[in-house]
Amino acid sequence: MKQTWRWFGPDDPVTLAHARQAGADGIVTALHHLNDGRAWPADEIAARKAEIEAAGMNWDVVESVIVHEDIKTRTGDFRALIDNYKASLRALGAAGVSTVCYNFMAITDWTRTDLDWPLPRGGTALRFDIVEFCAYDVLVLERPGAEADHPAERIEAARRRLTVMSEGDQARLEKNLIGWVPAREFVFDRASFRRALDRYRDLTADGLRQNLLSFLAEIVPAAEEAGVRLAIHPDDPPFPLFGLPRVVSSAGDARAILAAQESPANGLTLCTGSYGAGAHNDLPAMAKEFAGRIHFAHLRNTSREPDGSFYEAEHLDGDTDMVAVVSALLDEEHRRKAAGRADREIPMRSDHGHALIDDVGHGKSPGYTWIGRLKGLAELRGVMRALERPGMEP
């Protein structure tokens, strides 16, 4: 697999030189300063591509061309925004950037209650605590209808938890849940977040799913024409939050998305952490079933708890059999090579690294540390190297 690295552009404290030293050959990035729904100009794409190539790597994956909320709800300027999306795909394809990761999560990106959860051996990880989330959703945000989305025992546990949280703890929780998302130019406060939620008040999961399929019906042909492979990223976590519908959370969801547009341009990002946070998902089985349409892989691991909480585990620990997943992806690469496919190499990246040693206190975005991701990438590289030896498959 092609070893890649997510980079947030020139302002990222983890530089292209850091990525190269970590062993990456490819870069995963976007034009974050233009990622608000406008069409990406060819000269901006060319400049970013040249910057990456000057550092000795290739721009292998765009993560992401943002899907505007108007598109997800099919309101407002959604028609013009879809046209802009098509224009960006054409410009990327013309520049030779041929894989685009995107998501269809309503309002939120990946969501965690704790961005600095202490690990037993030192360092910190990302964590989602279902009780703390409930405390914010029901008792702080006071979202209408929230109590119906949580069992009574969880709400009672949330009330107890809130009594021992200081004002600072509550402010931190709110910032983590609604005020911080990587590579977003704006942040929500409580009032603006409530307004954003209100846009989805009458949109059911079936409605959001239909909006996704309508979007695919328009952009997949444009991607195919541009020579671009689309790779939808799953919901993170893979269950509803804040009453918002989720439509990319299971093998069944992935199956429906791929069946809706049978084009090779319509594919998946296999994020083992996002899917893996749900006990209903069998990642080795999904890697095998969807192998031919997996265009990108985020390889990370999570450890689940019985109540639905989870934290970001070591890349080779946690609840997902990472060796089995990597084996399935390498098998698919061998099939593609035998078939003469141009996309025989699947780009992958380590993801959501722990904050370790010099990562701590150096301004690196939570989950996008240097040493933590370097460690994860090195471990995954070792797995790949071992599996590529005859007789070493699990």
Query: Which residues face 349 on adjacent strands?
Result: 4, 298
CB 393 within 8 A of CB 33: no
Is-catalytic flag, 32? no
Task: Decide: helix, strand or coil at residue 355.
Answer: strand
Is-catalytic flag, 315? no
Q: Give the CB-side neighbour count of residue 31, counting CA atoms within 13 A.
A: 22
Quote the tokens at residue 255. 């199956």
CA angle centred on 66, ends 62 and 67, rounded to 5°: 130
Q: Which of 60, 68, 136, 271 is catalytic?
A: 271
Helices 78-94 and 205-226, packing angle to 10 deg: 30
Is-catalytic flag, 351? yes
Q: Which of 18, 32, 68, 233 is catalytic?
A: 233
Smallest CA-to-CA distance from 45 within 6, 100, 3 is with: 100
Q: Which of 18, 32, 352, 354 is catalytic?
A: 352
* DSSP-derived secondary structure letter, 234: P
Q: How far apart are CA 102 and CA 328, in angstroms?
A: 23
Q: How far apart are CA 228 and CA 97, in angstroms?
A: 7
Query: Which residues face 2 on adjacent strands?
Result: 347
Quote the tokens at residue 279. 């006990």
Is-catalytic flag, 298? yes
Q: Which of 298, 321, 354, 359 is catalytic?
A: 298
Q: How far apart are CA 66 and CA 38, in angstroms?
A: 9
Q: Which of 114, 137, 351, 359 is catalytic?
A: 351
Is-catalytic flag, 200? no
Q: How far is CA 177 from the centre of its chain?
A: 16
Q: How far apart are CA 272 and CA 265, in angstroms?
A: 21
CB 384 within 8 A of CB 306: no
CB 22 within 8 A of CB 377: yes
Any alpha helices (H) in the chain, and if so which ranges? 16-21, 42-54, 69-73, 78-94, 130-134, 152-163, 167-174, 190-198, 205-226, 251-260, 272-276, 283-289, 322-339, 371-387
Residues with a known catalytic role: 233, 271, 298, 351-352, 368
